[in-house]
Structure 1
Amino acid sequence: MESNISLYELQQLIKNAVYIGTPDIYWVVAEVSEIKVNSFSGHCYLELIEKEKTGEGVKARIRATIWKNNYLLISSKLENTIGSSIASGTKILFKARVEYHELYGISLSITDIDPSFTLGEMEARRMAIINQLNEEGVFNMNKELEFPVLPQRVAVISSKNAAGYTDFINHLNSNNEGYSFKTTLFETVMQGEQTEESLLISLDKIGETVNEFDLVVIIRGGGSKSDLAWFDNYNIAFYITQFPLPVVTGIGHDKDVSVADMVAFQSFKTPTAVADHLIESFLEIEENLILFGSSIKEIANKQIKEAKQSLNEAIFELSASSANITSIYRNRLFSLQNNIVSKSIGTLSKYLSIVETKRGQIDKSAAYMLKSWKETLELKITGTKESTNRYLKEKQVDIRILTEALNNMDPKNVLKRGYTLTYRDGVIIKDATNLSVNDIINTKFRDGNITSEIKKIDKAKKRL
């Protein structure tokens, strides 16, 4: 039988092979798949991957650790260089050595990261997104939409707890001109890995009720450059280009512009700047209306002046012949008046005769109908009286019969007919089975009572 070794011994062989095979410290390129910083120890734990060239599959994966002291230095260097720390989805060039542990297996211990490489990768990825949108011919599609004349109904994509959202709402509602806006918040995650999914869901919800809004505003407060990187996203940018309403952004960065800013209808540095733009749109419309009203007034006054002049000229020309025209029409009116009066008198006489005839007919018909109704009513009253008297007599007979029956059932009358009533303790005895020997009973006759003591009970046999 061949010799065997323990698991620990095998692990030691593997460990020695790893250290012998990878004795140096290496600069490695990989993508951060997951990252977690232990709040208690301060150590940073990562999962690093390398994807296939197609970008769909993973061809390599390994765990890595940045110990607390190194992590503080590396984070500080990244913040100062690229404005952010390590984040999921970021490609990094790091310095590490291979380690092997009997319990946790193989891993990398990272001692340094090159920020310039990460910065270049981020910019390269951003440019790839911009180029793809341009190649697809959609980069400027949202910019080609027509901005609403009065952008009053505003769909807001933001986080309700974000300071930028609060500033936007307060600034919009407290404008000095007193303009009124209707804002609807679509709660959205504005940083982190859920940004893309959450923002696209909000755009879909707005799209379902697109006729209720004039435009979409995407706003958030300030933050690091890494926070802005979440908006360098192809899917977010593509959704904005395809959206049927103008999309205005105020993501809150003074120096940097995201891809989402680039494809939006218009972008501003801060949420309050977006609010100022909406207010200024109203103010511009108001000023144009005032100017338009002044122009209309000026044109109207000019036309009125010209019309007055034309009227005065016409009055002057007509004044010479007005007397003759008035005389002719006065004679025509007198003639017409006489004809109307003559015809009216004849017509009135005719209709008065017709009215008198109809009134006589109506009087006769009404008198006949009243007489007929009176006779019918008298007959009904007579019949009702007779049936009522007959019913009362029948009921009086029934009452008399019932009264006689009740009198016959009266205990006094029952005793008069020779019957007796037997009591025990004041209760009438109806059945011998309710009595016992030595019971005292009272028997009531028509003319008196007797008291007895029971000595014997003969119970009757049941009949079959």
Structure 2
Amino acid sequence: MNENALSLYELNALVKRSINSCMPDTYWLQAELSDVRSNYSGHCYLEFVQKEPRGNNLIAKARGTIWSNVYRLLKPYFEEETGQAFVAGIKVMVQVSVEFHELYGYSLTVQDIDPTYTLGDMARRRREILKQLEEEGVLTLNKELELPLLAQRIAVISSATAAGYGDFCNQLLHNPYGYVFYPRLFPAIMQGDRVERTVIAALDAINAQRDNWDAVVIIRGGGATSDLSGFDTYDLAANCAQFPLPIITGIGHERDDTVLDSVAHTRVKTPTAAAEFLINHLNDTAETLEDYASSILHAVSARMEKEKTRLARMIERIPMQTKMRLKEEHYRQERLVRQLEVGLQSRLVREKHRLLMVEKQLGISSQTRLVKETHRLQLVEQQLKSASPEQLLKRGYSITLRNGKAVTDASALKAGDELTTRFAKGEIKSIVTQK
């Protein structure tokens, strides 16, 4: 048995004395918080980690403690300065003292914190997100959308119980111009680790009925500035940058823009300012329309005066124009009369010539027809002479008459009838004695 052997407690006590003697001062430490827990007594227990620069593998880890008397001052100071909650996942620069306890082992006790380091890291992360969006070509897409002139149908993403939402609606309802707006709430959680997921879900619901809305307003009021880290994520920024409707943000962050503010169409400070922006935009449209109406009225009045003057000049010229027109008509009619006369004269000459030709043709035709008809009459005359009773009588025929009518049928005679028989030369009378 080795008489020089140490107990565990003695060894740990030796380590403690060695550390206290070798590292009596405080040191500024850069690390990432992987765990942050506070208990009922107000103490905060941490876990510091360091990862590989080009990977996610841990290369160092240590426990840390912030005693309640320091924690109740340090936490609000850090969150006020950075706008970032003191939670796991952020990088910090803290002033620590190295402690070693015989029972609990090695730990780091936090004495102070430098918010500017975390701010720098947050700014770096924002720059990285914005650079990625720019490289993807979507960074300014939402800014390039045109806000409708009559932006009255407003889809609002906010917490239903948020005072900022009530202020926004009240401001729209009681605007001094009496403009009518139609806001509708799409609820989301506006602080904590559920911001990104619920806001994206609300955007998806709005996009499903995007034809019903003119613009989207994302507002948040009454929360701590430390709850704004949920608006500095890539997924939320990418969704907003590529959203098809203009997005107006008023999430109460006055000092620095979040990534969401940087990609939104318009960024204002508060929900009330978002309402004022919409009211002023609608009022600008109304004033523009009034200017247009005034310009139109002025242009119409000027045109009416111009046309009135032109009409008066035309009325003055009517007698002269009428006289000139009548004179022109007189000359035109005279030309027409002359043309008619020339035309009639020419027509008369043509008709006279035609009549002469017709007359000549008729003379020739009549002469030919007359010769033909004379010859035909001569033939008829000869035929008539050949068939006349005188010619028949001369050829030895006779005609028997009774009461001056020719007898052609002997059966028609009766005894006692007196007949006259004519010959070429002379006639005789006879009485029928027997049939």
Alignment map for 1:32-431 (pairs within 5 Å)? 32-38=33-39, 40-54=40-54, 56-75=56-75, 77-78=77-78, 81-82=81-82, 86-94=86-94, 95-99=96-100, 102=103, 107-221=107-221, 224-307=224-307, 313=314, 316=318
Structure 2: runs of 5 or more not aligned: 327-435
How many angstroms does 1:267 deviate by?
Answer: 0.9
Question: Aligned to 1:248, what secondary structure does the other structure show?
Answer: strand
User: For residues 271-292 of structure 1, what are the alpha-carbon distances to aligned partners after superposition, in whole Å with 9 as ceiling and x for unaligned?
Assistant: 1111111111111121222222
Q: Quick one: which amino acid aligns to residue 180 of structure 2?
A: S
1:171–1:43 distance in 2 versus 1, CA, 3 Å: same
How many angstroms does 1:319 deviate by?
Answer: 8.3
User: For residues 398-430 of structure 1, what are the alpha-carbon distances to aligned partners after superposition, in whole Å with 9 as ceiling and x for unaligned?
Assistant: xxxxxxxxxxxxxxxxxxxxxxxxxxxxxxxxx
Q: Distance in 2 between matches of 1:261 and 1:153?
A: 21
Q: Which of the two has higher C-alpha Rg?
A: 2
Question: Aligned to 2:255, what secondary structure does the other structure show?
Answer: coil
Q: Distance in 2 between matches of 1:13 and 1:117?
A: 40
How many angstroms does 1:308 deviate by?
Answer: 5.1
Aligned length: 315
Contact 2:143 2:266 in 1 (8 A): yes
1:294–1:116 distance in 2 versus 1, CA, 3 Å: closer
User: For residues 157-179 of structure 1, what are the alpha-carbon distances to aligned partners after superposition, in whole Å with 9 as ceiling and x for unaligned?
Assistant: 11122222111111011112111
Question: Aligned to 1:175, what secondary structure does the other structure show?
Answer: coil
How many angstroms does 1:154 deviate by?
Answer: 1.0
Question: Aligned to 2:218, what secondary structure does the other structure show?
Answer: strand
Contact 2:231 2:258 in 1 (8 A): yes
Q: Distance in 1 between matches of 2:58 and 2:186?
A: 35
Q: Distance in 2 between matches of 1:54 and 1:211?
A: 45
Q: Distance in 2 between matches of 1:18 and 1:150?
A: 74
Q: Distance in 2 between matches of 1:97 and 1:254?
A: 38
TM-score (norm 1): 0.59
Q: CA RMSD in A?
A: 3.5
How many angstroms does 1:264 deviate by?
Answer: 1.4
Contact 1:96 1:109 in 2 (8 A): yes
Q: Quick one: which amino acid aligns to residue 196 of structure 2?
A: E
User: For residues 228-256 of structure 1, what are the alpha-carbon distances to aligned partners after superposition, in whole Å with 9 as ceiling and x for unaligned?
Assistant: 44433333222222111111111223332
Q: Distance in 2 between matches of 1:27 and 1:263?
A: 35
Contact 1:91 1:118 in 2 (8 A): yes
Q: Quick one: which amino acid aligns to residue 155 of structure 1?
A: A
Name the structure 1 match of 2:410: none
Q: Quick one: which amino acid aligns to residue 246 of structure 1?
A: P
1:162–1:267 distance in 2 versus 1, CA, 3 Å: same
Q: Distance in 2 between matches of 1:60 and 1:10?
A: 28
Question: Aligned to 2:35, what secondary structure does the other structure show?
Answer: strand
User: For residues 414-451 of structure 1, what are the alpha-carbon distances to aligned partners after superposition, in whole Å with 9 as ceiling and x for unaligned?
Assistant: xxxxxxxxxxxxxxxxxxxxxxxxxxxxxxxxxxxxxx
Question: Aligned to 1:87, what secondary structure does the other structure show?
Answer: coil
Structure 1: runs of 5 or more not aligned: 4-8, 323-464
TM-score (norm 2): 0.62
Identity %: 42
Q: Which has the higher contact order (CA 8 A, sep 6+)?
A: 2
1:80–1:218 distance in 2 versus 1, CA, 3 Å: closer
